[in-house]
C-alpha cells in the first residue's frame, strides 16, 4: 500500500485573527445560530438583545426609566437615558474585546452579561453600526462598517439628554434574507418590562410597561380561564408567580436569570418545579404523584445570580449551581424560599389551597383511569420505534440524548410515502428527522387527552417528540409541518395545528412549530431555473425568462425530486412560524376554525376570497 505524504505543518500555518475577523468567521460562538428571523432565537434577535441588555443594566442601576427601540426596514435603533458610556472609552467599549464596566462587580453585581463581548459582536456582524454617548453636556460619536472604524468623531458640545444610542443594520452577507418578526420583538420587550417593573420601553410607537412583574406576565400570557388568582411572591433575589389553568393537561414555565429569558430552563427551573412538588406534599401531608401535582400549573420564576454561568453565549439555559457568596446553591435557595413563602400563602389563603387540592385529586383520578391506556400506548410507541416505521431520526439523537442537543435539530411531519421518501433522501441526516403520517389526522378539537393515547398517529407523534410530560425533554427545536400546498394538504396542516393547540399549546407558544414553504412552481429555460413560492414570484420569473419558459406546477411534495428537495430544506429553507395573536384565545380560535359553525366559516372564506389573474395574459 502506497503511503500518502502528510500535509505540511509549520509556522506559516499559524494565523492570528483580530477580534472582528474571529467573530465574523465564527459567529455561532457569539450569537448561536444565524437564521433569517423566522425563529425567536435567530441571530438578529440576539443582536438586538445584546444592545438592549446594556440599557437594562442602566435601569437596574437606578438610571434611565425609558428605553426607545425602533426597527425600520432592517435598521435597528436603541436609545436609553442612562449614564452614557464614558466618552473616552466609547470606541473601546464597542470594538475591543474584554473591555467593559461589567468586570467591576461593584458596578454590575448581577448583570445579564459579564464577558464584554455583546456589542462587539453586534458591531462586527453589522453592515452599519453607530454608537453615540451623551454625558455632562457633551457627545461622542463613532461609526463602523463590519467592525471597522470609519468615523471617530471628536467630542462635541450637546444639549441632548444623557444616555447611549446605538444603531445598526445586520450584515446581509451573514444573515441572508433576514426579516424581523414584530411578534418576536414584542415578546422580548414584554419580558424586559415584566422583569423590571417601572421601566417603560417604546417600540415603534407602542408602549410596554408593567407594574406587577411576573403576575402581569401570567395575566397577559395565559389565554384560557384559570382556577385561582395568581400566587405572587417576591424576595430580594427571587420572584415567582403561579396559577393553574382549568383545561391544560401539562405544566408550563417561564424562567429568567438576571433578566435573561432562559427558554431552555436550567438549574433554577428544575429547582422551581421540585420545590412546588415538595411544598404541596408537605402542606397537604400526602405523597401525591409528581404528575398530579404539576398538571395544569403555569408558573414563572426570576432569580438574580452573581456572575451566572450559562451553557451558551445566547444564555438560554442556566448552568450555575451557586447563587453567590453566602447565598448557597440555586436549588437550596429556591427550595427554602418556597417552603417558607408558598407554605405561608396557602395557610393564609385557605380557599386557594382547597382549589389546588381538588385539582390534584382530580388529576389523580384521571391518571388512574388512563393508566391502562397509557401503558398500552407506550408499548405500541416503543414497538413502532424499534421497527422504525414512522420516525426516521437524526444522528444527533443517537450521539447525544441530552435535551441541549436539540438546539440545531428539526423534525418534518409529512403526509404519504412519496413525500416522506423525498425529504428522507434529501435531508441532513445529522440534524433533520422525518415523521410520516398515514392519511388525515383526527380532528381533535374538544376531545380529551385520552384520544392522544388511543389514536395511533397522535400517540406515535407524541412519543417521537417526547412531549408527553411537557416541553422540558422536547427532542427537536423545530417541529415543521410539511404538507402539500393543495386543499388536502392545507386540511392536514390545520388538523395538526389543532392537535398541538389542543393538547400541547406551549409547543406553539414557545415558538417551536413551523410550516415548511415549498415552491408552487418551477419556471425554467435552457440557461436558468427559478423556483417560485407564489403567483407573484412566478409572474416576475416569466417576465424575466420569457413566455417560452417551461412552467411546472407542483401539485404535491412527492412530485419534487429528492435532488430538488435538497434546495428547499437546506440553508435556503423557508419556514413560516405558527404564531398566536393577542386578540383571540386558543378556545375561540379552535371553535371558529374547527367547530360546528360551518356557515360562519363559509362566509369568512367568501369575504376573503382572492382570484389571481393569469401572469402570461397579464404580461401580454
Q: Cell numbers of 403, please?
A: 435535551
- Beta-carbon contacts of 557 under 8 Å, excluding residues fewer than 6 positions away, are 414, 415, 418, 419, 422, 423, 482, 483, 484, 518, 565
**Helix, strand, or coil here: 65?**
coil
Other C-beta atoms closer than 10 Å to the C-beta of 125 total: 27
CA distance 184 to 37: 9
Same domain, 260 and 152: no
Do residues 362 and 404 share a domain? Answer: no
Same structural domain, 109 and 127: yes
The kind and range of the H/E element at 196 are: none
Grid coordinates representing 596 are: 360546528
In a domain, 590, yes or no: no
> By the 8 A CB rule, do 39 and 511 touch?
yes
Residues 359 and 466 reside in one and the same domain? no
Q: Tell me if 435 is assigned to some domain.
A: yes
For residue 39, tell me if it sits in a domain: yes
Measured CA to CA in angstroms, residue 460 lies from 163, 287, 435, 557 at distances of 55, 31, 9, 22
Model confidence band, residue 583 (pLDDT cutoffs 50, 70, 90): low
What whole-number percentage of the chain has pLDDT above 70?
86
Cell numbers linked to 494: 390545520
For the residues 19-25, what does the mean pLDDT come to?
79
Residue 245 DSSP symbol: B
Q: What pTM was computed for the model? A: 0.79
Tell me the CATH number at 569: 3.40.50.670
pLDDT at 370: 78
Res. 386: pLDDT tops 50: no
Asked whether residue 504 falls in the same domain as residue 417, the answer is yes
Answer whether 464's CB lies under 8 Å from 380's CB: no
Cα distance between residue 264 and residue 255, in whole Å: 9
Q: Average pLDDT of the chain? A: 84
Both 121 and 226 in a single domain?
no
Confidence category of residue 3, pLDDT binned at 50, 70, 90: very low
Domain-embedded: residue 237: yes
As a three-state string, the secondary structure of 363-416 is HHHHHHHHHHHHHHHHHHHHHHHHHCCCEECCHHHHHCCCHHHHHHCEEEEEEC
The x, y and z cell numbers of residue 178, run together, are 433576514
Distance between CA atoms of 498 and 126, rounded to whole angstroms? Answer: 40
* One domain, residues 482 and 562: yes
Whole-number Cα distances in Å, 123 to 48, 96, 118: 11, 10, 9
> How are beta strands 156-157 and 163-170 bridged, if at all?
unpaired
DSSP class per residue in 433-449: EEEEE-SPPP--TT--T
pLDDT one-digit tens code per residue, 310-355: 776 566 778 777 776 666 788 999 999 999 999 999 999 999 999 9
Domain assignment present for 188 = yes
Measured CA to CA in angstroms, residue 404 lies from 113, 379, 399 at distances of: 21, 26, 12
CA pair distance 525, 536, nearest whole angstrom: 19
The pLDDT confidence band at residue 101, using thresholds 50, 70 and 90, is low
Say if residue 47 is in the same domain as residue 195: yes
Banded model confidence at residue 404, pLDDT cuts 50, 70, 90: very low
Which of 312, 331, 366 represents a domain boundary (last residue)?
A: 366
Does 434 reside within a domain?
yes
Instruction: Among 212-216, 359-363, 403-407, 427-431, name the one with the lowest average pLDDT.
Output: 403-407
**CB 301 within 8 Å of CB 238:** yes
Q: Indicate whether 366 pLDDT > 80.
A: yes
Beta bridge partners of 415: 437
Residue 524 in any domain: the answer is no
CATH number for position 315: 3.30.230.10
Listed residues 209, 237, 267: the one ending a domain: 209
pLDDT per residue as tens digits for the range 422-476? 888 899 999 999 998 887 888 888 888 888 888 888 888 988 898 887 777 888 9
| Euclidean distance between CA atoms 612 and 537, whole angstroms | 13
Domain containing residue 309:
214-366
Residue 610 has pLDDT above 80, yes or no: no
The alpha carbon dihedral of 440, 441, 443, 445 has a sign of negative
Check: CB of residue 367 under 8 Å from CB of residue 448.
no
pLDDT of residue 582: 67
CA–CA gap between residue 216 and residue 402 (Å, rounded)? 33
Cβ-defined contacts of 460-463 (< 8 Å, 24+): 460/380, 460/381, 460/384, 460/390, 460/391, 460/435, 461/390, 461/413, 461/435, 461/499, 462/381, 463/378, 463/381, 463/382, 463/384, 463/385
Q: What is the pLDDT of residue 312?
A: 61
Q: What average pLDDT does range 372-383 have in this prediction?
A: 70
The answer to whether residues 237 and 360 belong to one domain is yes
**CA distances (Å), 46 to each of 32, 125, 372, in order?**
8, 11, 46
| Ordered DSSP codes for 15-64 | ----HHHHHHH-THHHHS----SSSTTSHHHHHHHHHHHHHHHHHHTT--
* pLDDT above 90 (res 141): yes
Q: What is the distance between the alpha carbons of residues 130 and 84, in angstroms, rounded to a whole number?
A: 14
In the chain, the number of structural domains is 3
Does residue 387 surpass a pLDDT of 60?
no
Q: Is the pLDDT of residue 223 over 90?
A: no
Domain at 27, CATH number: 3.30.565.10
Q: What is the pLDDT of residue 402?
A: 47
Residues 164, 72: one domain?
yes
Same domain, 227 and 191: no
Domain endpoint, select from 157, 184, 209 = 209
Chain centre distance of CA 339: 32
Cα–Cα distance measured from residue 581 to residue 551, given in angstroms and rounded to the nearest whole number: 37
d(CA 111, CA 340): 27
Q: Quick one: 192 and 220 in the same domain?
A: no
Q: Which three cell numbers stand for residue 275?
A: 420545590
In a domain? residue 374 = no
Amino acid at each position: 500500500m502506497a503511503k500518502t505524504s502528510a500535509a505540511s505543518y509549520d509556522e506559516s500555518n499559524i494565523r492570528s485573527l483580530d477580534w472582528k475577523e474571529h467573530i465574523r468567521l465564527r459567529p455561532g460562538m457569539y450569537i448561536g445560530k444565524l437564521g433569517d428571523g423566522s425563529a425567536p432565537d435567530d441571530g438578529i434577535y440576539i443582536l438586538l438583545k445584546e444592545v438592549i441588555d446594556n440599557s437594562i443594566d442602566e435601569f437596574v442601576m437606578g438610571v434611565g426609566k425609558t428605553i426607545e427601540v425602533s426597527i425600520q426596514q432592517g435598521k435597528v435603533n436603541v436609545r436609553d437615558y442612562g449614564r452614557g458610556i464614558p466618552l473616552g472609552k466609547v470606541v473601546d467599549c464597542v470594538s475591543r474585546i474584554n473591555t467593559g464596566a461589567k468586570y467591576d462587580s461593584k458596578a454590575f453585581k448581577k448583570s445579564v452579561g459579564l464577558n464584554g463581548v455583546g456589542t462587539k459582536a453586534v458591531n462586527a456582524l453589522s453592515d452599519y453600526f453607530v454608537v453615540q454617548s451623551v454625558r455632562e453636556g457633551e457627545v461622542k460619536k463613532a461609526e463602523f462598517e463590519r467592525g471597522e472604524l470609519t468615523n471617530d468623531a471628536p467630542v462635541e458640545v450637546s444639549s441632548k439628554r444623557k444616555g447611549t444610542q446605538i444603531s445598526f443594520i445586520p450584515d446581509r452577507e451573514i444573515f441572508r434574507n433576514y426579516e424581523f418578526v414584530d411578534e418576536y420583538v414584542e415578546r422580548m420587550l414584554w419580558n424586559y418590562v415584566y422583569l423590571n417593573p417601572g421601566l417603560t420601553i417604546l417600540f415603534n410607537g407602542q408602549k410596554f410597561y408593567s407594574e406587577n412583574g411576573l403576575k402581569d406576565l401570567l395575566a397577559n400570557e395565559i389565554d384560557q380561564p384559570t382556577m385561582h388568582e395568581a400566587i405572587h411572591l417576591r424576595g430580594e433575589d427571587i420572584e415567582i408567580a403561579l396559577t393553574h389553568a382549568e383545561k391544560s393537561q401539562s405544566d408550563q414555565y417561564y424562567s429568567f436569570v438576571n433578566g435573561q429569558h432562559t427558554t431552555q430552563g436550567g438549574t433554577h427551573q428544575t429547582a422551581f418545579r421540585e420545590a412546588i412538588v415538595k411544598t404541596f406534599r408537605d402542606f397537604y401531608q400526602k405523597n401525591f404523584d409528581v404528575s398530579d401535582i404539576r398538571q395544569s400549573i403555569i408558573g414563572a420564576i426570576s432569580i438574580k445570580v452573581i456572575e451566572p454561568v450559562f451553557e451558551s453565549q445566547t444564555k438560554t439555559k442556566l448552568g450555575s449551581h451557586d447563587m453567590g457568596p453566602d447565598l448557597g446553591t440555586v436549588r437550596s435557595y429556591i427550595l427554602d424560599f418556597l417552603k417558607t413563602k408558598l407554605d405561608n400563602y396557602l395557610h393564609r389563603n385557605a380557599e386557594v389551597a382547597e382549589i389546588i387540592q381538588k385539582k390534584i385529586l382530580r388529576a389523580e383520578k384521571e391518571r388512574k383511569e388512563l393508566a391502562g391506556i397509557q401503558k398500552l400506548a407506550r408499548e405500541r410507541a416503543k414497538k413502532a420505534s424499534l421497527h422504525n416505521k414512522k420516525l426516521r431520526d437524526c444522528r444527533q439523537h443517537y450521539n447525544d440524548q441530552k435535551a441541549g442537543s436539540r438546539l440545531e435539530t428539526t423534525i418534518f411531519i409529512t403526509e404519504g410515502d412519496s413525500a416522506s421518501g423525498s425529504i428522507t433522501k434529501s435531508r441532513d441526516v445529522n440534524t433533520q428527522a422525518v415523521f410520516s403520517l398515514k392519511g388525515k389526522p383526527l380532528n381533535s378539537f374538544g376531545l380529551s387527552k385520552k384520544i392522544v393515547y388511543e389514536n395511533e398517529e397522535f400517540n406515535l407523534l407524541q412519543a417521537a417528540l417526547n412531549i408527553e410530560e411537557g416541553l422540558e425533554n422536547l427532542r427537536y427545536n423545530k417541529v415543521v409541518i410539511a404538507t402539500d400546498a393543495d386543499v388536502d394538504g392545507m386540511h392536514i396542516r390545520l388538523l395538526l395545528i389543532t392537535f398541538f393547540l389542543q393538547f400541547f399549546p406551549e409547543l406553539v407558544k414557545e415558538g417551536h412549530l413551523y410550516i415548511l414553504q415549498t415552491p408552487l412552481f418551477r419556471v425554467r429555460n435552457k440557461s436558468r431555473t427559478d423556483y417560485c413560492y407564489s403567483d407573484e414570484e412566478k409572474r416576475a420569473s416569466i417576465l424575466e425568462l420569457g413566455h417560452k419558459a417551461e412552467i411546472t406546477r407542483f401539485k404535491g411534495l412527492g412530485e419534487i425530486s429528492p435532488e430538488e428537495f435538497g434546495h428547499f430544506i437546506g440553508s435556503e429553507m423557508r419556514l413560516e412560524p405558527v404564531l398566536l395573536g393577542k386578540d383571540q384565545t386558543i378556545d375561540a380560535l379552535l371553535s371558529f376554525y374547527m367547530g360546528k359553525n360551518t356557515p360562519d366559516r363559509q362566509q369568512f372564506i367568501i369575504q376573503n376570497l382572492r382570484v389571481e389573474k393569469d401572469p402570461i395574459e397579464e404580461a401580454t
